[in-house]
Structure 1
Amino acid sequence: MHTRKRRRALIAGVVTVATAALGIGLSTQFASAQTTLRGAADEAGIDIGIAVDANQLQNNATYRNLVATEFNSLTAENAMKWDATEPSDNSWNFSGADAIVDFAEDNDQTVHGHTFVWHSQTPQWVQNLSASAMQAAMVDHINTLANRYEGRVDSWDVVNEVVSDNNGAMRDSFWRNTLGDGYITTAFQTARAADPNADLYINDYSIEGDNAKSDRIYTIAQGLNSQNLIDGVGFQSHLILGQVPSTMEANLQRFIDLGLKVRITELDIRIQTPADANELQQQANDYERVVSICAELADCSGVTVWGLRDADSWVPGVFPGYGAPLLFDDNFGKKPAYNAVLEALGGDGSEEPTTTDPGTTTPPPTGDGDCTAEIDVVNDWGSGWQGNVLITADNGAVNGWTLTWTWPSGQSITSSWNATVTSSGSSVTASDVGWNANIAAGQTMNAWGFVGSGSSAAPQVTCTAD
């Protein structure tokens, strides 16, 4: 088992919200240990983490300030995934990941890396490889990321969601169908060799309670642990209101009994919207229960909440009719769940939450703004090229977008990430995938990207706000 001393800011000192890479600098007085999540977690000796969006971190000062002052650990929501870091073979983009790691270091925060190997958000070029080429690509990808961030990223989700929802059966992903179950061991062996000091996790959802899926994860973890390849298990905890499993504490304990750490890695608790005051209080109770379980277990390394405010959550785009899953409302106001988490960490949650109308925690308000978009050619290697698509909300907030354009000279998209793309001849249509639908008025989002064939081009793009 790997251990490390947590890096922590002085509780009563000043947190400097700055990153040299972004050219951002501001200072904010860090409140006492009893009145911020970060202060209470520091005193408790565990992580209180947040999944961060690199675009928001760069463009939204309120977002930056809360990330720095309320949380002592960061996870990249998307910026470290394969589609973001290696969209085409050996063509790397570390801009988002670097910005998050730099920010964490400047603000004395730990980083939990997410994720090396996943069946989703992996470019098509990887999925089409032969077995030998796919294994080589996986090993190279892990080595490149782990080596780049060695000593800077404290822990990694090595494999993500390898078990299906079918009674504990292994997921029939392209990884397993091409490489067999051995790809999991190979991934952990590679990560262990690449960064021996990083804690290595297996991560999955719907394993919080004692069930067939968590049994399968237990068996996998047991085998990896016998080879000294794993340090912990990540329990995503994308929960539904009122459905915290009654067996959650005992289930986490059995993994600890193997000699492993446990971690709540992607916590959110979704509500059917619109949410009323009683439901927000039930959500607070559920959050308190989950965080208390971690705080009371000696080897629970921390809790990460999957997003800062309700408006940024992936939930409404994936679970229609549900939303309001996080600790802050759309306007960055503290919800009852915030105070419940603070109290679960041993802090003072007596302050009244700042949410004034439960309606502000419902799905994002209908956007009334226009949008513009442009294709930014970020890499061109002759036989192909990479484009990032930048979308700007002009006069008002955008809560969904659709783009159309026509290629001028026979170009085509061979793979893409973070958008739903359809093509018909030279015409292209692309739309958001939920989590990247919302753009604040006046803000520009690096929304999605693609690999193109033919000569690079940046045709005029029409953006329609939903």
Structure 2
Amino acid sequence: MKSFVALSLLPLISALPGHGKPKPAPLKYPGLDVLAKKAGLLYFGTAIDNVVLDNKQYISIAHNRSEFGQVTPSNGQKWMYIEPQRNVFNYTMGDEIVKPAIKAGQMRRCHTFLWHNQLPEWLTSQNWTKTELVGILENHIKNEARHYYDECYAWDVVNEAYNDDGTLRSDIWLDTIGKEYIELAFKFARKYTSPRTRLYYNDYNIETVNNKSTAVAALVKDFKKRHIPIDGVGLQAHFVTGSAPSYDQISAALKLFTKLGVETAITELDVRTQLPDSAEKMAQQATDYTNAVKACVDGDDCVGVTVWDFWDPVSWVPETFPGQGNADLLDANFTRKPAYYKVSDMLGSYD
């Protein structure tokens, strides 16, 4: 979902612990990914943003395979960075995340071919005909998919196409191409990615059974009926401490999709808190995190969990929700929070 970390944060990040200094990672075995695999998941992963790649301590944790067996580029594969000018492709930012993950033996969830946000000005500053925009969409997916061919376990093909009431979001894609833009994106993705790559629809506020999640389920059912390629649904899981969905609610939402024959994943998990924080809030946050992870572990065909970064200073939350923050598993000093330990203990209980 909202993964942008402003460049204005760079001076702040540079002043935080570990920036540019080779310190040993404080996280030791077995690690969340090791425990998740023992509990039956395919991976426990994290998003990584490019703005913090020169922080040695951060990187030592992000690419610690025992902690995070899967990596998602939070920004580097989005349209504005991949195709900043029409038919001019730049894979630098995506490669900065993907290549070290490959070297570390981590899986990759790739994100995202099509979104209404973070689009380049050349695309949004003029009017296109339907035929022109379909051609632009196919060309973009073709080039990016071929560059990362067989390097991604899954691709988030379409991201956040629905409003909370279950209607389709008005944007350049819907307004110009019509509702068929979603199936076209999946067809193009299947045409140009490896046959092994899972194709996902990804969205937020679908972690309970509601108007939005039932609309996504209807899309999946229709795609399956018409043999439009779709392999999974990603539930972003951007939650708020104390008002997150319950274990039962998340489990019901997962079943809404898996009963249609697709796999699911928790793709962008974080739990933001109204500041100032407190011991009580951290305890509740730990419960909210654990409910989401446990629902995936217990659910049929929920393959894994990705946290939307693990370190508070690079969270997207404070900029987007002023007065809220502390959404991740590790604080500014790289100290594990109660949420980390409660998730770890829960995963370990399945061993």
TM interval, shorter chain, is 0.7 to 0.9
Taking the aligned partners of 2:260 and 2:181, their CA distance within structure 1 comes to: 22
Equivalent pair of 1:37/1:347 in contact (CA under 8 Å): no
Which residue of the partner structure matches residue 234 of structure 2?
A: 234
Kept in 2, the 8 Å contact 1:294–1:300? The answer is yes
Contact 1:51 1:307 in 2 (8 A): yes
Alpha-carbon offset, residue 27 of structure 1: 9.3
8 Å CA contact 1:225, 1:231 repeated in 2: no
Match of 2:318 in 1: 316
Aligned partner letter, 2:183: T
Alpha-carbon separation, structure 1, partners of 2:314 and 2:29: 27
User: SS in structure 1 opposite 2:199?
Assistant: strand
Pairing of 1:7-406 with structure 2 (within 5 A): 31-33=28-30, 36-44=31-39, 45-57=41-53, 59-69=54-64, 70-127=67-124, 128=126, 129-165=128-164, 167-195=165-193, 196-226=195-225, 227-246=227-246, 247-346=249-348
C-alpha contact 1:46 1:295 (8 A) present in aligned 2: no
Paired positions, count: 320
Match of 2:11?
none
* Superposed displacement of residue 205, structure 1: 0.6
Contact 2:49 2:75 in 1 (8 A): yes
CA distance in 1, matches of 2:48, 2:245: 27
Per-residue CA deviations over 1:33-55 (Å, capped at 9, x if unaligned) read 3xx11221232342111110123
Identity %: 38
In 1, Cα distance between equivalents of 2:24 and 2:318: 34
TM-score under structure 1 normalisation? 0.66
Cα distance in structure 2, aligned partners of 1:215 and 1:81: 27
**1:96 & 1:159 partners in 2: Cα distance?**
20
By how many angstroms is 1:347 displaced? 6.3
TM-score (norm 2): 0.87
Q: CA deviation at 1:243?
A: 1.9
The alignment's C-alpha RMSD in Å is: 1.9
Max Rg structure: 1
- Report how far residue 115 of structure 1 moved: 0.3
Structure 1 contact 231–261 (Cα < 8 Å) conserved: yes
Residue 16 of structure 2 corresponds to: none
CA contact (8 A) 1:199 1:232 kept: yes
1:222 CA displacement: 1.2
Write out the 4+ residue segments of structure 1 that deviate beyond 6 Å after TM superposition: 25-30
- Supply the distance in 2 between the matched residues of 1:84 and 1:207 (Cα, whole angstroms): 27
- AA paired with 1:183? Y
What is the CA–CA distance in structure 1 between the aligned matches of 2:300 and 2:23, rounded to whole Å? 36
308 and 28 in structure 1: CA distance in 2 versus 1, 3 angstrom threshold: closer
Contact 1:153 1:198 in 2 (8 A): yes
Measured after TM superposition, the shift of residue 96 of structure 1 is 1.3
CA contact (8 A) 1:31 1:39 kept: no
Once the two structures are superposed, residues 177-205 of structure 1 have per-residue CA deviations (whole angstroms, 9 ceiling, x without a partner) of: 00000000000000011122210000111
CA–CA distance in 2 between the matches of 1:66 and 1:29? 8
Q: Point out which structure has higher relative CO (alpha carbons under 8 A, 6+ apart).
A: 2
Take 1:248 and 1:216, find their aligned partners in 2: how far apart are those partners?
A: 16
More strand by share: 1
Structure with the larger helix share: 2
- Tell me the SS of whatever aligns to 1:345: helix
Residue type of the alignment partner of 1:89:
R
Q: 1:206 to 1:230 in 2, by over 3 A?
A: same
Deviations along 1:117-145, whole A, 9 cap, x unmatched?
00000112223232211111110111111
Q: What letter corresponds to residue 38 of structure 1 in structure 2?
A: D
Paired residue type of 1:242 = G
How far 1:29 sits from its partner (Å)?
A: 11
Deviation (angstroms), 1:345: 2.0
Which residue matches 1:21? none
Q: Which one-letter code corresponds to 1:168 in the other structure?
A: G
Residue segments in structure 1 that go unaligned for 5+ positions in a row: 1-24, 349-466
Is the 2:52–2:314 Cα contact (8 Å) retained in structure 1? no
Alpha-carbon distance, 1:242 to partner = 1.7
Distance 1:315 1:241 in 2: 13
Q: Which runs of 5+ in 2 are unaligned?
A: 1-21
